[in-house]
Each structure stands twice: as structure tokens, then as C-alpha cells.
Chains A and B, each alone.
Chain A
Amino acid sequence: MRKILVLTAALFAIALAVFFAKSAAEASAPLSMTEAADAACNGCHAGGNLAISLPSGEKMSLKVDPTLLAGSVHRQLACTSCHQTLTGYPHPPSDIPSVREYQLSREDLCWGCHADKVAEMQESVHRKDVSRPDVATCADCHGAHDVQAPAAAATRLGSVTACNGCHANERLMDRYGISTGVIQAFYDDFHGKTVALAGLKSGAANVEVAVCADCHGAHNILRADAAGSMVAAANLPDTCGRCHEGANANFTSAWLSHREPDLGEAPLVFLARWFYRIMIPFIVVGLLAHVILDARRARRKGEAK
């Protein structure tokens, strides 16, 4: 009997210990300051259609989907890590003239942490002349609350869409003499097809496929004809060689620089294409004519019997 009592007491003690240890562990992780603050922000900004009208006439949404931020690479940051002046309520009055001005003004904040990107970004074709109204801001390529890790499969595949955002815009590209056909040329070649199809497999998408940035660079992107460009003829063997080990100068001309083949630059490709484009319809018409004659003859033969 005493044995049973001791055993019960021991079990009770263990149960108590486990219970308190557990609640102690829970208690040691209270809502952090940032989470508490974020919760306060979300109270107004998570739902609804909160927006302000800017002097430019634009309407800027102030809605922030908390799941976007939670899914981003910046998920450990608090709202006020970036929105440093908005620590209290009511907020100080807005001094934002336009969406674009706002995006540009936010960049100092990005560069505060990502200082290593500033120099190459300011040299790049997308930023060199910051007076131009079209220069790309951090948010144009990376988004804002949904910034993703650059090496993640989804980011790499999605980056092509980010480039297309401007490069598929004919009015915009005309200003710089760039063809919007570069996109289709990419998709029609091996790399682009893989990008277009990589998402079809369930599970992890293939990331070992060249997206725009792999050949052209990202923050360091230069005009394709600039000497320092990753796609300049002299640098191409190195650029291709990052994936295609052993690539030489010959190899680089396998890629027709986003251009339709023509007689001058790629006569073999041009002639092969047009040889088949003319021959195939001829052969198909010949085959069909043969089949039709055959069928007619068989019918005549059947009628004669």
C-alpha cells in the first residue's frame, strides 16, 4: 500500500514538474515588442481599403497583407524597421508627392542594410541617369512587402516577369530603342522554355536554368553593347561558362542575341528555317492530294463492282 502511495506521489510530482516547465517555456516567449507593435499596425492596415490621395492625383493603397510580409525574406523585421517615422498614432502628416517619389525616397532605407549594392546599382543602365522618369527603383524589381530571397526557385523564375514588366511595354522600350521581341525570343529558346515549363512540376521547381539576370546581371546590369556588360562579346564566354563549363567564343554565338535569324548574321539558321517552311507545306499538300486520289479511286472501284 505504501509502495503505491509513493509511486502515485512520484507520478504526481513528475506531472506537476512537466506542467510548470511547459508553462514556464510558454511564458518565456511572450508577444515580442515588435509583434505587439505590428499587431497594432495591422489593426488598421491589414484589412479594408485604406488609401490616401497624393498631390500627384494618384491614390496610394495603405493596405498591407500581413501574410505577404510573413512570407517575405524580411519577415523578422517589424513594420517600424522600415517605416521609422510612423511609430505613434496619429501618424505625422504625409509629405509624399507621388508614388514614384515615394519609392525613390524609400531606397535610402533599402541601402541602409544593403550597402554593397549601392555602387553597382548607381552605375547600372537602370539607374545611371536618375533624372529619367523610368529608372528602376528597388521596389520595381523586388516588390515591397513581399521581397523574396533572390536564390529561391520562385524568385528566380518570377524575376523574368519582373523584367517583362517594363521590357514588354512597347511605348517604354521605344524610348530606348529596345525591342519587346527579346522576351518571345527568350521563351522560344531552350532557357526560356525551361523557365516557362519549370513551374509545371509539383514540388521544387528547377532553378538551374538561365533567367534574364544570369546573363545580363542584376544590380550591375549595363547596356548590352557596353564594354563591361556581362553580355559583351568579350565577356560572354565567362558569362555562359558559369553554367556551361568549358564554353568558348564559338559557343556564345549559338545564342542569336534575342534576334530573329537573318541572312547576314545567321545564314545557316535562316536558310534552314525557310527551307522547311517552304518544303513542309509542299510535301503535306502532295501527301494529301495522293490520299484524296487514292480514296476517289477506291470509291470508283467500289462502284464498278
Chain B
Amino acid sequence: MRAARATDPEAGVIRFQPHQRIEHLVLIVTFIALAVTGLVQRYYSVGLSQWLISVMGGIETTRLIHRGFALVLTLGIAYHLAWLDYRLFTRHARPSMLPTFQDFRDIVNELKRGLGLKAAPTHFGRYDYRQKFEYVGLICGSLILIVTGFILAYPVAVTRLFDGQVVAAALEFHGYEATLAVLVILIWHLWDVVFKPGIFPGDTSIFTGRISPERLREEHYLEYAELTRKAPAGE
């Protein structure tokens, strides 16, 4: 996998393609916009929510912004799934972002190490189990939010085919799934990529597309070993 280009001691190892970095940037903006314009509606009685809604120009405008970014998210997820389909089924790339049994063994091993029990260091591949959890969570969560959001935006059309209870249930799914997504990002993602000791003040690899060989070796040993095997030292 582009091993020859991948190791350049000066700039670091290429980890993300430009289109992946753009995807992430678009996702940051979209996620924040949707979370803010959505949560203020869910927790509408809170003073901060009402202040934000009036700053955005009222509830109607807030809903319009929410639906606008919902369209961006839908297109982004559709693009990502199309790209995934091409990578996995046309180019037969390894699904390195999907969880395997090894990830569960890794979780147990990391838990032991976290508790201070005796355990060998865990060697991760291209993505560790947390990154996989966040990735799968993001894709599944987005799909749930997109489908239920569509139901909420077009209830008359949806109830031509389905029982009205689907609309009420969509509101439950949409609100709770969004709350869960925001909690995961705030608690876990920001810890992992901003606040964790050794990472603070931030992991830049998703923005620059590169990771230092030291960090690659430390955090993704199996990938590092594979890359260095393909591109022997000295090249």
C-alpha cells in the first residue's frame, strides 16, 4: 500500500489521503453545526439554548440551518460509503477500520494494563479498537440520525407507508442518538486526540495527513512493522 511513498523520515509517514483530511474537516463543521442546532431544540427550556436560538435568528432559522447541514452530512456519508465500496470490493483493500476478534482481546489486555496488572504491551494495527469503535459508531450513528431525521422532516410522506408510531419513535431515536454521539465525541474523541498526555495540545495527523515514525511505532506497531518490512531501512 504505497509503501515506497509512505516512509519519509523528515515529514513523517503518510497516514491520511487529502480527500480523507477534507472529509474530516467537513465533518467537524457539520457535526458541530448539527449538534448545536439540534441540542438547542432538544433542551429548549435551558437558558443557553434559548439564547443560541435567538442569536441564530429564531427557531425557524435554527431548523433551516439544521436541515441544511443534515443534507451535507447525508451527502458526506453517501460519498464515504461509495468510496468504501470501491476500496473494499473493487480494490479489495483490507477493511482495517472494522472491528475483529483481536480487538476484543486487545480491550481485555489494555484493561489489564490500565489496572496495573501484568500484561504484555498491546500491539495495534492501522487502527486501534477505540478508533474502530468511534468510526463504526460514527457511521452507524449518522445512518440512524439521517434516517430518523428524514422521517421527522417528512412525516406525511413517511406515514403513507408506515404507522405514525414510527414518527414518534424517530424523535426518540434521533434525540437520544444525537446525545450519545455528542457525549462520545466530548468524552472520548477529545480525550484521545486533544487532552491525552503525550498528545496534548492535539494530534495533528488528520490535518497534515502525516504521523511521525516514532508515534506510528508506539501506537500502531503492527502497521509500522509491516511498512518497515516492505520498505527496508536505509531507503
Contact = CB atoms under 8 A, between A and B. Distances in A.
Given A256-B168, A280-B176, A288-B187, A245 B156 contact: yes
B80 interface: no
A251 B159 contact: yes
Contacts of A254: 155, 159, 164-168
A272 B172 contact: yes
A89 interface: no
Contact of B169 (A252, A269, A297): A269
B112 to A, nearest CB: 10
Nearest to A271: B169
A129 to B, nearest CB: 34
Interface stretch (B22-30, B57-65, B92-100, B223-231): B57-65
B: contact size bracket: 35 or more
Contact of A251 (B152, B164, B176): B164
B176 A266 contact: no
Nearest to A244: B156
B13 interface: no
A261 B173 CA distance: 14
A197 B50 contact: yes
B160 A201 contact: no
Nearest to B59: A197
Interface stretch (B68-76, B82-90, B178-186, B202-210): B178-186
Given A245-B156, A254-B159, A293 B115 contact: yes
A: contact size bracket: 35 or more
A295 B163 contact: no
B156 A247 contact: yes
B57 A250 contact: no
Contacts of A201: 54, 57-61
Contact of A200 (B50, B152, B172, B184): B50
Given A283-B180, A287-B188, A196 B197 contact: no
Interface of A: 187, 189-190, 193-194, 196-198, 200-202, 206, 244-248, 250-256, 261, 266, 268-269, 272-273, 276-277, 279-280, 283-284, 287-288, 290-291, 293-300, 302
8 contacts: A193-B59, A197-B44, A197-B59, A244-B155, A248-B159, A283-B184, A287-B184, A295-B197
Given A200-B54, A268-B169, 15 more contacts: A190-B152, A196-B45, A201-B57, A248-B160, A250-B159, A250-B163, A251-B167, A266-B168, A272-B169, A272-B173, A280-B176, A287-B183, A290-B188, A293-B114, A294-B196
